[in-house]
Amino acid sequence: MTRAAVEIPTKKKLRVATTSLAGCFGCHMSLLDIDERLVPLLELVELDASPLTDIKHPGPCDLGLIEGGLCNADNVRMLRVFREQCKVLVAMGACAINGGLPAQRNHLDIRDCLQTVYLSGHGVERGFIPNDPELPLPLKQVHPLHDVVKIDYFLPGCPPSAEAIWQFLTDIIAGRTPHLGHGLIKYD
Amino acid sequence: MHSPLDTAEHPEKLRRVVIEPVSRVEGHGKVTILLDDQRKVHQVRLHIVEFRGFERFIQGRPYWEVPVMVQRLCGICPVSHHLAASKALDAVVGARTLTPAAERIRRLMHYGQILQSHALHFYHLASPDLLFGFDADPRKRNVVGVLAAYPDIARQGVLLRKYGQECIRVTAGKRVHGTGSIPGGVNKRVTAEERDELRRPLSDIRAWAQAGVALVTELHEHNRDLYEQFGTVKSSLLSIVGRDGKLDLYDGVLRARDAQGAIIFDGVEPKDYHVQLRENVRSWSYMKFPFIVSRGPEEGWYKVGPLARIQNCDAIGTPLAEAARQELIADSHGAIVHAPLVFHWARMIELLHAVEVIEGLLADPALLGDELVASGPRARTGVGIIEAPRGTLIHQYEVDEHDLVTMCNLIVSTTHNNQAMNEAIRQVARQHLDGHEPTEGLLNHIEVAIRAFDPCLSCATHALGKMPLAVEIVDAQGALVERLVRDGERL
């Protein structure tokens, strides 16, 4: 089955915010891996808050793409802001969907982790555990996004491929229900 | 004692201004600035606010999983972690020397990464400040603005990054988080077709890389005072250099110079890094503060990354990049350059070098070899050091008789630059903020200085932190998901 070409909405660009919570930015890299197609995409999309812009807090948006799970209180706060501001919210990549590799710490005792890194760590001198109020509260365990807010779409992969992200975005832009065909859904 | 502006005497009496999040950098960081009634700056700190615990949860895993696990530290430079871990574990599987094909395939992967990461940093993230001005309209001060105002420059950046990513895909299997490198070598050969595919666009790629060097040189020329003085603080320099003293981003020995360029140490084998470098902890950042042991924790901080590397090596082994390096050295009349904004110039010289190295590798028949893995007498420990795009990256592992990792220590590039970035933003605060109401444009000056170091704050967040307060997390229906703990104890 062939798909119709993306219809270009002439009036209003789709407003899109993106953020990385407890992720590695790999999903954002995969988004940039659409390469030259970034140019036509940015003709259809207006970037709001994103690591690529200097807008620090999202305004009302049509779409929010979130990479990474929740490992601290700041992540939770930012996720709630995105849910309030974005009509459609997407959990992008393995960490957003199930915590990903950072969730490997979930079976460990947090005090033991702290001591390993900051007290008994190799080559650490005069070690102690950072405790300034400017540092956000870590969660006891790493959580996926849907533990806290309603998520509209899940885009799997570590990271989802550029092709998958492109297919997803062009479907949304054209007003279609996103459909990732054969080979685009991978759980690596 | 810490440097001036590190810690205010009476923070409770001061006004707090926060930049959160620091944008157009990789990862999560924030800056806090404390001002008095006269808007005099008393304290400036770059906080690394995340923690992910890699060093701990790697323990107990089989060693062969490690190169694929640790690259999830960072999606921008996953290859650095993939290769630094592989190099450390080469020692564990006894692969003292890699096969000729494996060595070349790993180098192609690594220089592809240097190319894509430097292109991303300059064109997608940092160039808007340099092309539009630090206090330009924040709505335009991004890659979309560059695409509109300078479409050719932006397009070349996109295609340079694409080319680097393709070198990674061919060698690692996919562009982000590939699996090509394994302890002892690689698991995938490069075919003649893949090599030819990569050779085809090379002349364009080389020309665009040269145009990139010309662009930063011109920007520097046009605003010489700003580029030389903005956030400049002298410090020592650290990198690996090849065993012949030339620039080598994949392998070599540790060398450090002082602020005037005199050698502090040289020829230090990776396994002995801990003799020269140790780390300190501060209460207000999850990122540690490394220092050169012989200089002590107060004076021993240093810079890593492109600006350190191209001044630390004796020469660059490829002609175009070496000519560009000579121009940079001549520009300062041979004095060591410490200016953060000159990082951009050095970074583009390295980008050009990466293109030349890739060109050489693609012309080398040994790249296509199919002997991919070496082995030898097993060892219990290994240290791998590589020059990641942002600077020196150290991975160290101990493995037990069951092949499980018992110890993991990581010192990532951005951590080495922790003090240097803090000193740079304090200098910018003195130069530009003192006495002024901190507007968006002025605060972006702070971020410009941070961006110059191309920090990878995700890489820097492999540690875990403590909970100073208590918080409850509830789900969309209001049900309790988690109750946070205080001082490591459950409430």
**A38 within some domain:** yes
A-proximal residues of B, 290-309, CB under 8 Å: 297
Cβ-defined contact of B162 to A35 (cutoff 8 Å): yes
In 3D space, the residue among B73, B80, B70, B69 whose CA is nearest the CA of residue B116 turns out to be B80
Rounded Cα–Cα distance for residues B433 and B441 (Å): 10
* Separation in Å, CA B272 to CA B83, B268, B312, B332, B409: 19, 6, 19, 33, 13
Rounded Cα–Cα distance for residues B392 and B304 (Å): 6
Which residues in chain A touch residue B49, judged by CB atoms under 8 angstroms apart? 72, 74, 134-136
What is the total count of domains within chain A? 1
Instruction: Please report the pLDDT score of residue B456 as a whole number.
Output: 80
Which residues in chain A touch residue B174, judged by CB atoms under 8 angstroms apart? 161
Rounded Cα–Cα distance for residues B227 and B220 (Å): 6
Mean pLDDT per segment of 10 residues, for chain B of length 491 residues?
Answer: 78 90 85 92 86 82 96 92 98 97 98 98 96 94 96 98 98 96 98 98 98 98 96 97 98 98 98 94 84 94 98 98 98 96 98 98 98 97 97 96 93 91 95 92 94 82 37 55 40 26
Cβ-defined contact of A29 to B463 (cutoff 8 Å): no
Residue with tokens 């990862």: B27
Contact residues for A171 (Cβ-Cβ < 8 A; gap 6+):
A177, A178, A179
Cβ-defined contact of A127 to B26 (cutoff 8 Å): no
Whether the CB-CB separation of B449 and B340 falls below 8 Å is answered with: yes
Pairing of strands B236-241, B302-303: parallel
Cα of A177 to nearest chain B Cα, Å: 24
As given in the structure block, the two tokens for residue A82 are 């995105």
B163: alpha, beta or left? (left if phi > 0; alpha if psi -120 to 50): alpha
Which residues in chain A touch residue B469, judged by CB atoms under 8 angstroms apart? 133, 137
Cβ-defined contact of B484 to A53 (cutoff 8 Å): no
Give the mutation candidate from A28, A125, A135 for the B interface (greatest B CB count, under 10 A): A135
**A146 within some domain:** yes
Instruction: Please report the pLDDT score of residue A111 as a whole number.
Output: 73
Rounded Cα–Cα distance for residues B23 and B26 (Å): 8
Peptide bond just before A60 cis, omega within 30 deg: no
Cβ-defined contact of A140 to B490 (cutoff 8 Å): yes
Give the mutation candidate from B450, B467, B477 for the A interface (greatest A CB count, under 10 A): B467
Rounded Cα–Cα distance for residues B447 and B142 (Å): 13
Cβ-defined contact of A132 to B468 (cutoff 8 Å): yes
Long-range CB contacts (< 8 A, 24+ apart) of B215-224?
B215/B153, B215/B348, B216/B122, B216/B130, B216/B344, B216/B345, B216/B348, B217/B327, B217/B345, B219/B130, B219/B131, B219/B344, B220/B331, B220/B341, B220/B342, B220/B345
**A178 within some domain:** no
In CATH, the architecture of B51-418 is: Orthogonal Bundle (1.10)
Helix locations, chain A, DSSP H: 26-32, 38-44, 73-85, 94-98, 110-114, 162-173
Query: DSSP assignment, residue B246?
Result: B
Helix locations, B407-439, DSSP H: 413-416, 418-428
Cβ-defined contact of B53 to A140 (cutoff 8 Å): no
Instruction: Please report the pLDDT score of residue A6 as a whole number.
Output: 52
What is the amino acid identity at position B470? A
A37: number of Cβ within 10 Å: 14
Instruction: Please report the pLDDT score of residue B460 as a whole number.
Output: 64
Cβ-defined contact of B177 to A54 (cutoff 8 Å): no
Which chain B residue lies closest to A76 (C-alpha atoms)? B473
Cα of A30 to nearest chain B Cα, Å: 7
B286 lies within 8 A of chain A by CB: yes
Residue with tokens 């030819």: B196
Which residues in chain A touch residue B155, judged by CB atoms under 8 angstroms apart? 36, 39
Residues of chain A with pLDDT under 70: 1-11
B61: number of Cβ within 10 Å: 17
B126 lies within 8 A of chain A by CB: no
B147 lies within 8 A of chain A by CB: yes
Q: Which of A28, A110, A159 sits opposite B177 (nearest CB)?
A: A159
B143 lies within 8 A of chain A by CB: yes
Rounded Cα–Cα distance for residues B127 and B143 (Å): 8
Rounded Cα–Cα distance for residues B465 and A71 (Å): 11
Peptide bond just before A159 cis, omega within 30 deg: yes
Which chain A residue lies closest to B162 (C-alpha atoms)? A35
Q: Indicate the domain borders of chain B.
A: 1-50+419-460, 51-418
Size of interface A-B (CB pairs under 8 A): 257
In 3D space, the residue among A40, A32, A55 whose CA is nearest the CA of residue B142 turns out to be A55
Cβ-defined contact of A51 to B124 (cutoff 8 Å): no
Secondary-structure percent of chain B, ordered helix, strand, coil, rounded to 5: 45, 20, 35
Cβ-defined contact of A122 to B396 (cutoff 8 Å): yes
Query: DSSP assignment, residue B138?
Result: T
- Output the domain CATH number for residue A80: 3.40.50.700
Rounded Cα–Cα distance for residues B386 and B212 (Å): 25
Query: DSSP assignment, residue B38?
Result: T
Whether the CB-CB separation of A103 and A141 falls below 8 Å is answered with: yes
Residue B485 backbone phi and psi in degrees, to 5:
-110, 160
**A115 within some domain:** no
Report CA B24 to chain centroid distance, whole Å: 14
Rounded Cα–Cα distance for residues B134 and B451 (Å): 12
Which residues in chain B touch residue A52, judged by CB atoms under 8 angstroms apart? 24, 124-125, 142-144
Instruction: Please report the pLDDT score of residue B472 as a whole number.
Output: 47
**A150 within some domain:** yes
Question: Environment class of residue A55 by beta-carbon count within 10 Å: exposed (0-12), middle (13-18) or buried (19+)?
Answer: middle
Contact residues for B186 (Cβ-Cβ < 8 A; gap 6+):
B101, B102, B105, B106, B171, B180, B372, B373
Contact residues for B315 (Cβ-Cβ < 8 A; gap 6+):
B245, B246, B247, B322, B325
**A1 within some domain:** no
As given in the structure block, the two tokens for residue A49 are 């808050």
Instruction: Name the strand (E) or helix (H) holding B242.
Output: none
Whether the CB-CB separation of A104 and B70 falls below 8 Å is answered with: no
- Counted residue by residue, chain B has a size of 491
Whether the CB-CB separation of A68 and A95 falls below 8 Å is answered with: yes
**A156 within some domain:** yes
Cα of B60 to nearest chain A Cα, Å: 11
| Residue numbers of the domain that contains A61 | 14-102+142-173
Whether the CB-CB separation of B456 and B390 falls below 8 Å is answered with: yes
Whether the CB-CB separation of A22 and A75 falls below 8 Å is answered with: yes
Secondary-structure percent of chain A, ordered helix, strand, coil, rounded to 5: 35, 20, 45
As given in the structure block, the two tokens for residue B202 are 């090379």
**A186 within some domain:** no
